[in-house]
Structures are given as C-alpha cells and as structure tokens.
Chains A and B, each alone.
Chain A
Amino acid sequence: MISSDDSDPPAPASGGSAGSVSLAVMVNGTRYPLTLDPRCTLLDVLREQLDLTGTKKGCDHGQCGACTILVDGRRVLACLTLAVMKDGANITTIEGLAKDGVLHPLQQAFIEHDAFQCGYCTPGQICSAVGLIAEGRAQTADEIRESMSGNICRCGAYPNIVAAIQQAMGLP
C-alpha cells in the first residue's frame, strides 16, 4: 500500500530564518537545496517550488493517489509527506521516469492500452505501478487490482490500467 513516511524530521537549520528549515533532496537525479516552512508537504514543494507539476493534487488528504511519487524506490503520497522528513532522500516523479527521451515501459504500456481518459490520475497511477512492480508482491491481475486500489481513477480506466501494468510486468 502507499503510505506516508514517518521518519524523524531534521532539526531546524541554525541561521535559517525563524520557522524555516534547510534540507536537500535529490529529485529525478538533480540535487535541490531547500529552505522551507517545516509544514510544507512534499507535494507543494514539488509543484510550487521545483515547478514539477506532473504530480497532481486530487484531494490533498491522502485519499486519491493522484500525488503518488517514489521516495527511495517506494511509492509514497506526496500530499501526506512533510518535505522536511525527506532530507537526503532520492525522489522520482513522473517527470523522471523517461530516460534519454525513451519512455519508461509503464508509460509506453499506458499509451498502448489507453489507460487514461482525462489523464489527471495518470502520473500517480504510473508511479504507483512502478512502486508496485518494485515491491514484487502482486503477481496476478487480482493482486494488481487490490494493490492499486489506493489510486482512484474517476474516469474508470481501471481495466486498461490493469492491462498496462500486466504488460509491463510481462504477465499474459
């Protein structure tokens, strides 16, 4: 399942302005030093400070999955994660999945299977699926359905989402 992480936040940076902390994160291979309000969610940092708007805000409450990203390879809901807790973490967003202009196999599979309509859930679905495959637990279509249940698609593209993931996993 997708979760927020609850490791300890770093101590407030000495010398930083009152109420803000300094940290650094790696996002899609680039290191970003940040100084921010400790209440900032990773989602807002990505979207508003790093201009990585591919990660979407659907509910901001950890209930829809639109904001799913990968933190150290695990799928995480960015809206439930305080950025300060991720000092030093290695983050991958939808913008970081393609390599050298070649789409990630899941991105390709989503296109081939028409696994979206409005597209708003799609970045979250794809990141969630990357995490799911890395977890190595889901092996059947039924298990994929269960372990993708945290990512709502209001357009109901689920059959194609499952088919795309199956293809990327090399399942029949």
Chain B
Amino acid sequence: MTVPRTSGSEDMLRAVRRPVPHDSAEKHVSGEAIYIDDIPEPRALLHAYIRSSDIAHGRIKKLDLAPTRAQPGVAAALAAADLPTGHNDIGPGFAGDPVFAEQIVEYAGQSVFAVAAETREQARAAAMQAVVEYEELPAILTIEEALAQDAQVLPTVTLMRGDADKSIAKAPRRISGRLAIGGQDHFYLEGQIAMAVPGEDGDMLVYSSTQHPSEIQHHVAHILGLDANGVTVETRRMGGGFGGKETQGALFAVVAALLAQKTGRPVKLRPDRDDDMILTGKRHDFIADYVVGFDEEGRIHGVDFMLASRCGMSPDLSGPVNDRAIFHADNAYFLPHVRIVSHRSKTHTVSNTAFRGFGGPQGMMVIEYAIDEIARTLGIDPLTVRKRNLYGKRDRNVTPYTMKVEDNILAKIIGELERTSEYWQRRKAITAWNATSPFLKRGLALTPVKFGIAFTATHFNQAGALLLVYTDGSLKLNHGGTEMGQGLNTKVAQIVADEFGLDFEDVKITPTTTGKVPNTSATAASSGTDLNGRASLIAARTIKERLIKFAAAHFHVAPGKIVFANREVSIGGEKMAFVELVNLAYKARVSLSATGYFATPKVAYDPTTMRGRPFLYFAYGAAASEVLVDTLTGEYKVERVDLLHDVGKSINPAIDMGQIEGGFIQGMGWLTSEELYWDAKGRLQTHAPSTYKIPACSDLPRQFNARIADWSRNREDVVYRSKAVGEPPLMLAISVFHAIKDAIAAVGQYQISPQLDAPATPERVLNAIDALRLRLGDHLPAREAAE
C-alpha cells in the first residue's frame, strides 16, 4: 500500500494543531490514573525481591537458598540453576545480561537470585538469609582502566572522511585536550515494576512498566519456555521512562513471571528506589580526546576524536548508543576531514543503556567543547565561531557519514534567537559587568542542536495500529507505542479524530498490549508519533475509504464529494451524523475495524562502513543561557534561558512545549548537578535523591523563555509535517554548561580557556577556577584576599 499523504486542509482540523490537554489530564489531577502499583491486587498475590551481588567482580563460591526457603511466608526462591528452560539471557540483540548470575558476578547490583513471599518485607528478609560467598576478582571500574586493558563489550568503531591527520597538520592552528562527561540516572518517578499473573494453559499476563512490551514478551516466552502467543504484556502508562525502561524493565518482568510460573500465583516485583538505582543501567559516561585543526577565522579543517564510553558489564544497547554519539559528534557543523574512534569500554559496573538522546548528547558535547576552545584560543566570540562552522545549504552540507543535510534551518533559528535573546547587547553588558565585579561573574552562551530522527537500526522503523469503530460512533485505537508522559496517546488520538472530522474525545486509546499489535519497536528514538501516529492514520484511512466507497454507492455520489467534518459527513452536500453513516455501513456489512502499518521510507545505513542515511530528517533548536557564578564557592544560578526549538508543524503545541522545557531541564540536570559516584570497590554510592541531585523547581532559570519555531515545517512527509520532539531539546542544555565555562573564563579576563568537565558541579567549577588562577600565575587566590 502506498503511503497516503497526510490529508485534509489545515482549516478543517479540529484536533490536530490544537493544544489539546493530555488524554489522561483529569485522571492525573484526580489521582485516578492507574500505574501498575495501583492496579487492585489479584487474589493470592505474592511479592518478590531480587538479591543482588554486593561485589563488583567475583566468582560465586557458594549459593545456598535453603535458609531462605525455610523462612516464614516464602513461596519460592529461584537462582540460575532453577531456570525452567536453561535460558538465562535477556540481552537485547547481544547476549550478556543473565537473569541470574551463573558462576561470575560482574557488577555490584547484579541479580543473583529472587524470592517470592506473602509480603515484600518477608521476601526481603528471607533473601538476606541465603548463604552467598564470593571469591573476589580484580575489577575494572573506570573507562581509563578499561582502555589500558583493552576491555571492550563490542569492537571499536571508526568513522573516517578525508585525511584528518594531514588536514590538522596543515591547518594554521590546532588545539587538543580531554573532556570527561558524566552519566545520568533516569530517576523516572515511578520506579521499575512488573506484575505477572498466570492464566490458563500456563499462559502468562505481565503488566510491565516498559517502553518495549514486545521485547518483554519475547524474553518472558523464551526464559519460561512458552510460545509468544502464550505471553501477553500490557502497559497502560509509565510514570516516566526516558530510555530507562527500554531494556531495563526486562529483568523485573522476567523474574516476576518466573516466580509466578513456579508458584502458580500472581507475583508483583517492585524494587525500592535504592535497589532500582543500583540494579539498573544509566546514561553512559564518556571520556573524549580531541585534536582539531582550524584557521584564524575559527573554521575547522579537520578533527580527530577519540570517544570512549563506560558500557558496563554487557553490550545492552551500547552499540547503537555509541554509534549515535559518532553521528552527533558533528552536531551542526561541517567537518571536512574527520576521524572518530569510538571505544565501547567494558567495566565491572552496571550495564549502561538508553537515556533520552541515546549517545547523541555526549557526542554533541565533544564538538561543542572543541568549538568553545577554538573560540577562546582565537579570542573570538564562541557564537561567531559556531556560526562560521555551520553546515551550508548548498555546499558544506554532507555529514561525515555521507547523509546530506537537506533542510538546514539552523542559521535562521540562531539568527532569530540572537535577536530575541539580545545576545550581543547582553554579551557587551556582561563583559562590562564582569570587569567591575571581582567575585561574582556572569557567563553567556548560545548553542545549537541538530538531532537525527529515526532508529539507526533500520528495521526498528516500523509500527502497527488497530482501529475499531463501534456502531455508536465511538472509536477505539490500539497502537504499538507506549505512553510515558510524552503525550503520544494524545497526539495519536488527535490524528485519528481529524481523519474522521471527529473530536479528540471521540477516540479512546487503549493500553498498549502485545495481544493487539504484534512485534512492535520500543517507544524510543523520539519516533513514537512519527511511527505510531502514521500507522494509526493509515488504519483510519482504510476505514474511511471503506465508508466513502459505501456512501458513494449507496447515495450515488462521487467519492470526491464525500467529506468528513464537524462530526458529520457531507455526502454531496447532504449532511448526516458520523454515527448514522457508521450504522448504515454496519447494516450493509462493511467492516469497521482495520489495522494500519507503517515503515519509514528512505532510511538505510550500513553499520560496517558507517555510511548512508541513518536518519529520515533532523530536528533543530538553539538555546541562549546566562548564569551567575560565585567564584568564591563555585555555586551558580541560571539567570535566564531563551529556547527556540523546531518541531516542524506542531500537532500539539502544548505537549511539544512541555517536551522542550522538560527536556531542557533534564539536560541541565545531567550537565550541572547530577553526579554518579562509585566507591573504590565499584559500589554506587549515589542511589537515592538524597545524594543524587535532580533539578528541583527552585533550580528553574529565573527567566525562562521557551518558544516553538512556528514557521517550521517538516520537508519530509512525516505525519502532519510535524517533527519528533522527545529527545532533541535535552541537548539545548549544553548552553548552560558553556555559560558556566564562559563565567569562569571571566575570572582570567578571557585570556585563557578554563578546563571544565561535566557535570559542572559547584565543586568542579571551583576547581576549574582554582586551576585557572594557577595558570594565570595568580598565587594570591582572590578568596584569601577577600577574607
């Protein structure tokens, strides 16, 4: 079937383009929205607990669950040896993630065994009674150690264009350095959770807080020894996902299902917050070495980047995450000669995973840092250097991976933001202000974002939907995407409603279930609406075409004269209610249900050569941030932020704005306050919000102006010409990091460039200031002078 054009004239739209509130809005404010832990508990429910390794690397010398099984309330305890099929791996794509450790544990927090008991407290207490003895082995705990020992979860990947070495050697100027970029815990406010309910014939129903029900279904079936048709996975909504429930929900779902199979009783598994943070993967931290050759204007001639990321103990999604880091190490800039070497380091820490941006943010940080260094070396404003290096429209428009940048609107976005944020006036004012302020320094930065949209693994770019029309005129839709707060269901309902000229409220979206739409992709890569919205539209179009065909024959009217609008159908000028036509069609035995299927066109890329078109299009944005740093303490406040972001033609401006602001705030947390800390034994010490600092309401910029670039339109035929918005705004926060760096540079009158790693915690800021003062030869630190 050919892909139908997104239809209808703009002025006929009733739902699309409107800031329709989230489809669960009333339920959210009244407390009626049901998350998995709120589902009325089934009879005979057991509660499960996973006991995990408390060492980073070791051999299990002894594992005796007999004392556990003898505890009150215990119904079952399972370890690797007890698995029904012998299958014990839930790695996505690549193996390496056992449900339960076999002989070896490879991180502190790795699942060793699980217990089901009448209460959660009993399960936990009983688990602690097991005898577990380890023989400790040497552990690799940092990226540096992994690089030194050549420890990798996947082979190194290199992307080359031209001759990086020669271009750098011949360039008039060059810089080099190293940047460390921290990881990030998802801290979805609803933690991981699953509830498994056994049914007839050994079937299993699993409620899972997951972005990827199909994969959970696959794992449960495989590990339990069932066919996929015996396993149903249902996800109504998540209390946040952010990538942390793309693969990480599998352990909890599979363990709950195993214990339910073993006991024949329903089992709920909800780790507490500390266990959740210790057991599950996070955003990859990176170290990056850069060498850049450029000219006196700041134009880049060649780059040589080494990216190394902490993948943890297994591959999980580290392959595509690191590929995406490579694909975004250009961000918005044309790099004529390129070498990017990407090491996927193996460490004895939790296996890192997807997190909003999926490696893109880390790649982008590297080039933005390099650009900032170029500017400070030359004494040119960093924004000027950024603009000089932007991709061109006609030439200088091919990415290192050979995809052409076809719809580059960044110059326009940056230009507009320069004006609305009054960048240059403020730059002047800030420089003058800093010259007279000895201890408080202001910093300003404007950074762009160009983010590729599509799954880089081409075959994930497909989606399905199932639409049912009932004889009372109401519509029920199931699609393969999952709702995690991003408003996917709302947008999809808007799209389907408009296809029939109905109201948004006429369409009900049901919980995502593998029983309705099979073989779905994860709701990830920002592509939820692009894929599921389009598949749903295709399903709607199929039914609509049947109705048109029927009406045309029944009323002897040309199909072109049949129009759905205002909850009515105009048939050659005669109007009838939508529900009436549906009833006539029903009586005439017209099928009123349909599936829709969509596969993204154009994308194709060869992972062995790193060449092709991994993305259908790019989403753009830019941010200008201003900070005020106290150079005596390293503390700072974000004073003002201006965002301008491209969502194509928005399907729902309110939802898109929420994604833009929320993504920025989450990115700001990543680059400023959220610091993960492992101790010398490889144990995560930041496993609760008391020690892991997520942005709070009080961290909001004092002035926060976010805008949608309302003139934009997706040049690709994406549903209603919109663009994906889930991930790209996160990277707008890179401007905050560079504003801080700019404020620190003011300490040295902008004569030398400060070195700053991410996250820019007050401690790091203070260290950067001290290091800068040392380099300035200022042996009487201002702090002492101030006392």
Contact = CB atoms under 8 A, between A and B. Distances in A.
Interface string B35-56: 1011010000000000000000
Contacts of A120: 35, 188-190, 239-240, 485
A78 B445 CA distance: 42
29 contacts: A53-B31, A54-B31, A56-B189, A58-B273, A59-B273, A61-B688, A61-B689, A94-B29, A98-B30, A103-B30, A108-B29, A110-B28, A116-B28, A119-B22, A119-B33, A119-B237, A123-B31, A145-B698, A146-B698, A154-B242, A155-B658, A156-B662, A156-B664, A157-B661, A158-B665, A158-B700, A159-B700, A162-B697, A162-B700
B658 A119 contact: no
Nearest to B696: A149
A154 B666 contact: yes
Interface of B: 19, 21-22, 24-35, 37-38, 40, 186-191, 237-242, 272-273, 484-487, 654-655, 657-659, 661-666, 688-690, 694-700, 702, 704, 706
What is the interface of chain B mostly: helix, strand, loop, or mixed?
loop
A156 B654 CA distance: 14
Interface string A123-159: 1001000000000000000101110111111111111
Contacts of B239: 56, 118-120
B700 A118 contact: no
Chain A, interface residues (CB within 8 Å), range? 35 or more
Interface string A72-89: 000000000000000000
A114 B697 contact: no
Interface of A: 47, 51-61, 63-64, 66, 93-95, 97-98, 103, 107-108, 110-112, 114, 116-123, 126, 142, 144-146, 148-162
Contacts of B273: 58-61
A56 B38 CA distance: 9
Contact of B189 (A55, A64, A111, A161): A64
A114 B655 contact: yes
Nearest 4 A-B pairs (CB), nearest first? A54-B31, A118-B485, A120-B239, A156-B662
Contacts of B658: 114, 117, 155, 157, 160
A120 B222 CA distance: 32
Contacts of B688: 59, 61, 63
A111 B26 contact: yes
Find the residue from A64, A114, A119 having the highest chain B CB count within 10 A: A119
Contacts of A123: 31
B625 to A, nearest CB: 15
A103 B86 CA distance: 54
Contacts of A157: 658, 661-662
Contact of B28 (A64, A122, A145, A151): A122
Contacts of A61: 273, 688-690
B696 A119 contact: no
Nearest to A152: B694
B56 to A, nearest CB: 25
B661 A66 contact: no
A163 to B, nearest CB: 11
A57 B35 CA distance: 11
Nearest to A108: B29
A123 B697 CA distance: 16
A151 B697 CA distance: 8
A155 B485 contact: yes
Contacts of A154: 186-189, 240, 242, 666, 694
Contact of B27 (A58, A119, A121, A162): A119
